[in-house]
Structure 1
Amino acid sequence: MKFIKKVSLLPWKWKLTLALSVSIFLTYSIFSFFEFHTVSSWLLNQEETDMKQAMEQVVQQLNIKERDLTEEELTDNIALLEKLNNNNQLIRVLDDDGHAILSDMNGDFPIIEPNQIYNDEQFHYISIGEQNSIVYSKELKLPSFKGRVEIIRSLQSLDKVREHLRFAMMLFTIAALLISGLIGYFISYLLLRPVNSMTKTMKKIKNTGFKERMPVYRQKDEISDLTIIFNEMMDVIEQSFQQQKQFIEDASHELRTPVSVLEGHLSMLNRWGKNNKDILEESLVASTEEVTRLKKLIISLLDLSRLEQNRGESDLTPERVKLVLEHTIRDFTMLHQDFTFQMKLDSLHLYKVSEQHLQQIITILMDNAVKYSFQEKNIFLHTYETDHHFVLEISDQGIGIPKEDIDKVFDRFYRVDKARSREQGGTGLGLAIAKKIVELYKGTITIKSKVGQGTKVMVRFHI
């Protein structure tokens, strides 16, 4: 357990090196173990096969049917045994009493005593001193003689081969351990190089900002995917940071004006307004207007902040969609009696948006349409379906938006005509809030506009 705990504290480079080295080493060791025993078994089988062949030849030569050899005649066949014998092998013929009447030994190795007879035709592995041998015997029947033929083969050569094989495999195992260590270190280096690069990039980001990116490797693997995701994440973080920075700058600028106006009027009241009713009334009206504008701005900022955290529950039905649209048109007709509001509802199938958010979207878009319509005061609201999408379309015949500003009007605090927007009490957050709501429900909002002819805003939600 202590060893495992120490290993767990090592850097990942050495963990991977150790893991790869151990796995390669164990794999090679297991392979070598089975290979050694396979080769040893094959060599022993070869020895047994050779002994069987030698036994068959000896018995066949001695058991000649045309001749009836006596025991005395058998003793004269030493030349036959010498001819059939192999290196490190003893061939002998034993009588029923276990006495060797014919024997030939090729080599120098200890043998078993003649009276130690194995009567079964099986291979017997014996050890005499430090020498290993194998014994094989077979019955010999002649008309005038009955006994056994016995072959004893020394396994000295086999033991030497096995010893050399074992030594070679040990050397290869040690070499495999060293090579596996080098391979493991190299592979861990390759595997961790992107991680090290990511670490360096993160340190640079920490010190210099969000401009640094990881190099994307050519090979399409998990590490490459990780670098791509990391770079994409850094793009999002940088964009979010820039938006936050811009948001803070814009918010500070927007808040500075009403706060400065309030400060000025309060200072004027403090100096002269206490005894001057005209100054008092003027300052109170101006301060009230600025507080109202400041309240709107703060509410819009809070709404935008809440939208970035969650979205409402989808509780709409076609009946509720119709009710919301009609209620909104009725409210705007009452507030702006000099405007003409028209509505055409070709579809009410909107289910995946909360009623509150739908109300908020329509209010923002209708309010913008009213604000920027000075001469032709006609507003048209139309709903319909196309390509499995519910479309909410609000058109006006107002001043329109220049082409170069259409993509910017959804930015926070952006105004096409800042002076006029401020006079009308706008915060520059309406369209930003509307777009954020639409995106929460995977929808899209687009604008088509021509200067002097009007603007059409289209909101699409997938049905």
Structure 2
Amino acid sequence: MKRQTGIFFYILGLYVVLQFAWWGFHLIELTEELKRNSSDVSKRVIMIIGEGLVFFSILIFGLWKIRSSIKKELQLSERQNNFLLSVTHELKTPLAANKLYLQTIQKRNLDEEKRKSLMEKAIQENERLEGMIENILNASRLENNALKPHKEDTNITHLFEQLAERFHKRNQQELLSLDLEKDVNAKVDVFFLETIINNLLENALKYGGSNGNIELYLFRKADHLIFGVKDQGPGIPKEEIKEVFEKFYRSGNEDTRQQKGSGLGLFIVAELVRIHQGKVSCKENTPRGANFEITL
């Protein structure tokens, strides 16, 4: 964006200089013409006024375009700063928790059941940390075009059932309901699909799944594979729907937001779907919440 803005600015600047030089040339000619003959003066004046109006319109458009680009750059910079603050906190939290669990095990004479419980919590925090780091790495790979799909024949229904089981185990409670068409097979990149579903499920859990109202669905429609995740959270305002798939974007007010997150999950989802030559959309759920639907 910065490069495009710079190029546009230089082109606009060059046009302004050339236009003033052109006007200067015409004014000199017009002065000479007044000395000799005034019959064509009115035509030349109309031509100069017309060119002036065109120049003024282009100049106003250019200034508006530059202002919009600067505004986008400032918004991106603010999101990057928020991302750094958020991800720093989220990386420190599991590290601090793991340190506490290990110190408790080391310093206290615990029975086997309590030791096992603390070890399981430490493993969960470690998996959470791995997930955050993987998202950061995936975002970087996507921006550098380093991820290419490797499609293979896959039983999508079975894959989604496995992902749901892992999700329940990770959160230690039944939060997810399944609406999956049986034995749906397709040629897909398994890593892409797992990453997409995991990010959608984590997003649904953050914004509205604490009551167990998350649904993972899958069905075929003609030659297309349609799947997605529904939640019954607060939903997404219509004016924000176009922005939710942008990098670092997080819904809501930054000063009052309580949900954790880096603003990378839905960006990764959108990019992986695009590389897989599919479409992703955000719809309203019934009776409330959001529905992220993907078509491949």
Give the TM-score taking structure 2 as reference length: 0.55
| Amino acid in structure 2 at the alignment position of 1:220 | S
Does the CA contact (< 8 Å) of 1:395 and 1:454 recur in 2? no
Q: Find out whether 1:342 has 2:188 as its counterpart.
A: no
Note the C-alpha offset of 1:309: 3.4
Would you say 1:229 and 2:229 are equivalent positions? no
User: Post-superposition shift, 1:242?
Assistant: 1.8
CA contact (8 A) 2:179 2:215 kept: yes
Is contact 1:312–1:357 with CA below 8 Å preserved after alignment?
Answer: no
Percent identity for Structure 1 against Structure 2: 19
State the 1:307 CA deviation.
2.4
| Contact in 2 for aligned 1:393/1:456 (Cα 8 Å) | no
Query: Is the 2:217–2:228 contact (alpha carbons within 8 Å) kept by the matching residues of 1?
Result: yes
TM-superposed CA distance for 1:238, in Å, is 1.6
Inter-partner Cα distance in structure 2 for 1:344 and 1:273:
45
Instruction: Decide whether aligned partners of structure 1 residues 295 and 414 sit closer, same or farther in structure 2, where only a CA change above 3 A counts.
Output: farther
User: What RMSD in Å do the two structures reach over aligned CA positions?
Assistant: 5.7
Which of the pair has more CA radius of gyration? 1
Amino acid at match of 1:331: Q
- In structure 2, do the counterparts of structure 1 residues 242 and 17 end up closer, same or farther at CA, with 3 Å as the change threshold? closer
Q: CA offset at residue 343 of structure 1?
A: 1.7
Residue 154 of structure 2 is aligned to residue 323 of structure 1: yes
Measure the CA separation in 2 of the matches of 1:19 and 1:428.
49
Return the structure number with greater helix share.
2
Deviations along 1:361-407, one digit per CA (max 9) or x if unpaired, are: 2444467679938668874312326xxx95623355xx612245785
Shift of 1:244: 0.9
Change (3 A) 1:347 1:237: farther
Following the alignment from structure 1 to structure 2, what is the Cα–Cα distance between the partners of residues 378 and 21?
Answer: 66
* Between 252-261 and 282-291, the greater mean CA deviation after superposition: 282-291
What is the one-letter code of the residue matched to 1:402? P
Select 1:295's aligned residue among 102, 126, 130: 130
Match of 1:249 in 2: 85
Task: Report if aligned partners of 2:83, 2:262 keep a CA contact under 8 Å in 1.
Answer: no
Q: Which residue of 1 aligns with 2:227?
A: 393
User: In the alignment, is the contact (CA less than 8 A) between 1:380 and 1:394 conserved in 2?
Assistant: yes
Q: Secondary structure at the match of 1:383?
A: strand
- Written as runs of structure 1 = structure 2, the 5 A alignment for 1:81-120 is none
One-letter amino acid matched to 2:180: Q
CA distance in 2, matches of 1:363, 1:18: 58
Q: 1:219 to 1:368 in 2, by over 3 A?
A: closer
Residue correspondence of structure 1 range 18-57 to structure 2 within 5 A:
none
Secondary structure in 1 matching 2:282: strand
Give the number of the structure with larger relative contact order, counting CA–CA contacts within 8 Å between residues 6 or more apart. 2
- CA 450–370 in structure 1, closer or farther in 2 if over 3 Å, else same: same
How many residues align structurally?
A: 250
* Residue 196 of structure 2: aligned partner: 361
The answer (yes or no) to whether the contact 1:391–1:458 under 8 Å persists in 2 is no
User: In 1, Cα distance between the equivalents of 2:278 and 2:64?
Assistant: 24
What secondary structure is seen at the aligned counterpart in 1 of 2:232?
A: coil
> How far has the Cα of 1:236 moved from its partner?
2.0
TM-score by length of 1: 0.38
Q: Which structure features the higher share of strand residues?
A: 1
- When residues 356 and 286 of structure 1 are mapped into structure 2, their CA distance, relative to the original with a 3 A threshold, is closer
CA distance in 1, matches of 2:20, 2:55: 28
Shift, 1:23, TM fit: 7.1
Cα–Cα, structure 1 residues 298 and 225, in superposed 2: closer, same or farther, change >3 Å? Answer: same
What pairs up with 1:21-420 in 2 under 5 angstroms? 219-221=56-58, 223-264=59-100, 269=103, 274-278=106-110, 281=115, 286-310=121-145, 312-313=147-148, 320=152, 323=154, 325-332=156-163, 335=166, 340-343=178-181, 356-365=191-200, 372=209, 379-384=216-221, 390=224, 392-394=226-228, 400-403=232-235, 407=240
Structure 1: state its 5+ residue gaps: 1-11, 33-171, 173-189, 191-216
C-alpha spacing 1:393/1:329, structure 2 compared with 1 (3 Å): closer
Paired position in structure 2 for 1:73? none
